[in-house]
Amino acid sequence: METERRAVLAAGVVGAVGAASGCAVYGKKTAATAETVLGKVADVPVGGSKIFTKEKVIVSQPTAGTFTALSAICTHQGCPVDKIEGTKVTCPCHGSAFNLADGSVARSPATAPLAPAKVKVSGEDLILLPD
């Protein structure tokens, strides 16, 4: 009986250690340490912007060949922004709006700007760079 209990406890400890190490490995795999292909350069029109929903980033091309990027997460309560209206992007949750040129707040309730992100062009691809 005592041997069985020890075997069960030992198995539990091994399982817990395995789960913890799995979490550590998983965290490393999902950390933003690698470049991510967002799409094609042609996906973002000159003078326009595009929201890349999966990657939670907005890319703008103010002039031909010049790209800027912002986080697509509203600074008010963390909702994803979802609508580009001219030179602004809006959040559906509480109506905050941000200027696409620099991420500054155009309409409250948000009080902080959208965080900048980094992108580069590689051939025909737009690449999101790690933080």
The rounded average pLDDT for each run of 10 residues, N- to C-terminus, in the chain (131 residues) is: 49 42 32 81 96 96 96 96 96 96 97 97 95 80
Q: Give me the CATH number covering residue 123.
A: 2.102.10.10
Residues 5 and 40 in one domain: no
The pLDDT of residue 10 is 45
* CA distances to 16, 25, 115 from 11, in Å: 9, 21, 46
3 state SS of 7: helix
Are 3 and 41 part of one and the same domain? no
Q: Encoding tokens for residue 19?
A: 């789960």
Strands 66-71 and 116-117: antiparallel
Burial string for 13-50 (b: 16+ CB within 10 Å, else e) reads: eeeeeeeeeeeeeeeeeeeeeeeeebbebeebeeeebb
Q: What is the pLDDT of residue 114?
A: 97
- Asked whether residue 77 falls in the same domain as residue 13, the answer is no
**Same domain as 100, residue 48:** yes
Same domain? 11 vs 66: no
- Residue 77 in 3-state DSSP? coil
Domain of residue 48 covers 36-128
Taking the complete model, does pTM exceed 0.85, yes or no? no
The reply to whether 52 and 116 lie within a common domain is yes
Shared-domain flag, residues 55 and 118: yes
Do 82 and 25 lie in one domain? The reply is no
